[in-house]
Every structure is written in structure tokens, then in C-alpha cells.
Amino acid sequence: MPKDNHLNPQNSELGKKSVYEAEYNPEKLFPIPRKLNRERIGIGSTLPFYGFDLWNHYEVSWLNTKGKPIAALAEIIYGCESLNIIESKSMKLYFNTFNNTKFDDVNAVAAVIKKDIESRVGNTSVSVQITPISHLKSLHLFVQPDGICLDDLDIECSVYHHDADFLKTEEQFVEETLSSDLLKSNCLVTNQPDWGSIQIHYKGKKINSEGLLRYIVSFRNDNEFHEQCIEQIFMDILQHCRPEKLTVYGRFTRRGGLDINPVRSTHPIDLKTVSNIRLCRQ
């Protein structure tokens, strides 16, 4: 694992011309400490939420023992309690190193990936599910997030940098699920746009819908990683609206064959509670 002074995002492969290696090389994985951005939004070592980061990788391939290529999809999950995240371009470069590498079977591939990622994220186990494309009997139907979509609200927007003051509550007590496809931010390093959908389930005083949508839109010109963006939203709603229960689920469009989908919640949560759905933009 790289030394701490090498973990700054500026030292990663983001925004740089890269050498694409085709032989297995776990050193391509670049961890970034979560604390770098958590400290800025007031999250200390004791986390105020549960959750995990769910990655889908659509460009996975290796060679079987006879040298025949196998194409597959990968699902990777690790907890938000991990010390580090994996920088997304480095994940792609890491998977590229499998392209000309022979493995006995799919289980051997999954075991290597699990070991390599666990050694870099730290403090948590990693779930790796590899599914060869030949095993897929049917494709998931494109769906939209559950809940009431806020995007048809006829509102005016003029603030395009994070502003939690839009978050207001009303007297009515509810338990509801809200969603929006208007979440956009920009990569912290390259400034490339990141497009996302968000689902918010909560129990407590009703959150003003117009204010919540303006708040979501206010991330539009901000620079954040996916994971920190969802954690910021979770913390803002928790602090400004004080719900009894809260789950925030972000689904981001893929880049380089990868999508990252963070979940943060006031209670323990797993894929039995939230589904690894595939949205129309994914």
C-alpha cells in the first residue's frame, strides 16, 4: 500500500496520460483517505451513518488457462467505514492489467480482486461478485428510482454551488421516499461533469420539496468525489431537518466502464434493503 504522503488525489492518474498495462499489476490501485474530505464537513472518526460504496464495472476481461478471453461484469462493495476510497481511474487501470493474465476460473479472479482492494481500502471487508457475460440469462430492465420525483416542480434556480440553507421542514410528520435525476457535480481533480440520480428516504418532519430540489441543484458547479457528495447531502439533511430515519442513495453515470453508487443511512443497510438497480442513464 502506498505511503500516506502518496495518497493525495493530485498524485493519482486522474487527468494524466496513462500507460495501459495488460499484465496483472495490483500497484495500479490508488487509495485516497476518506478523512481528507470528511474533516471538511465535520465528520470525525466516529461515523454518524452506516452505508457502503457499490461499484459496477462493465469492462472486465481475463484469459482462461487455455488463453481464451473471458468477458464479465463485476460488482464490488465495501463499507463506508473503510479508511480509503479507490480513485476510479486507477480501478479501471487495475482491471486492464487482467486483460492478458491467465486465471484458473472466475473464483480465482474474484479472490485476487478482493485481496487487492481490501489491502488498500483498509478496515473493512470487500465483496466481489464476478459474472461472466455468458452466464447472464437476461438483462435488468431500465428503471427509475422509487419514490416521488421532484424534478417536475416548477421552481426557479439561480444558486449552483452547495447551499444547505435551502433545506427547510414543515410541521407535518411523514415517512416518504423522494428522488431526483438533477444531481450534478464535477470531478474534484479533472473538473469533468459527474451526472447522478438520488433517492432520499426519511421519517420525520416533512422536508419542503421545493427547497430540497433547489438544494440538490446547488451542487451543479461544485467539485466533489461521488462518495463525498452523498455524505455531504446526508449530513446536511441530518443536521438541518433532523429526521428520525434517513437513507441517501446516489446512482451515478458510468465513466470508463465504472459506475459508483454510494449509500449512507442512519441504520445498518445492505442490498436486501436497497437494490443494485440499473437506471436508464447507466
Which segments in the chain show pLDDT lower than 70?
A: 1-20, 136-142
* Domain annotation covers residue 197: yes
* Domain annotation covers residue 125: yes
CA–CA separation, 85 vs 120, rounded Å? 8
- Name the residue among 209, 207, 264, 214 with its Cα closest to residue 234: 264
* Domain annotation covers residue 142: no
229 is catalytic: no
146 is catalytic: no
Predicted confidence at residue 11, as pLDDT, reads: 63
Predicted confidence at residue 142, as pLDDT, reads: 55
Among 113, 135, 157, the domain boundary falls at 135
The answer on 176 and 58 residing in a single domain is no
The answer on 171 and 198 residing in a single domain is yes
Number of domains in the chain: 2
CA–CA separation, 104 vs 263, rounded Å? 34
Per-residue model confidence as pLDDT tens digits over 2-55: 455 456 655 656 555 566 677 899 999 999 999 999 999 999 999 999 999 999
Predicted confidence at residue 55, as pLDDT, reads: 97
The answer on 113 and 85 residing in a single domain is yes
Which of these is catalytic: 53, 116, 181, 194? 194
Predicted confidence at residue 8, as pLDDT, reads: 65
CA–CA separation, 202 vs 172, rounded Å? 13
Whether the CB-CB separation of 21 and 13 falls below 8 Å is answered with no
* Domain annotation covers residue 270: no
CA–CA separation, 52 vs 263, rounded Å? 5
- CATH code assigned at 35: 3.30.1130.10
CA–CA separation, 230 vs 251, rounded Å? 10
* Domain annotation covers residue 40: yes
Predicted confidence at residue 141, as pLDDT, reads: 46
3-state secondary structure 150-186: CCCCCCCCCCCCCCHHHCCEEEEEEEEEEEEEEEEEE
Chain-centroid distance of CA 279 in Å reads 14
Could you tell me the residue range of the domain that residue 256 belongs to?
A: 148-265
Predicted confidence at residue 137, as pLDDT, reads: 52
Which of these is catalytic: 53, 80, 187, 259? 187
Exposure string over 89-127, b if 16+ CB within 10 A, otherwise e: bbbbbbbbbbbebebeebeebbebbbebbbebbeebebb
Number of neighbouring beta carbons within 10 Å of residue 79: 17
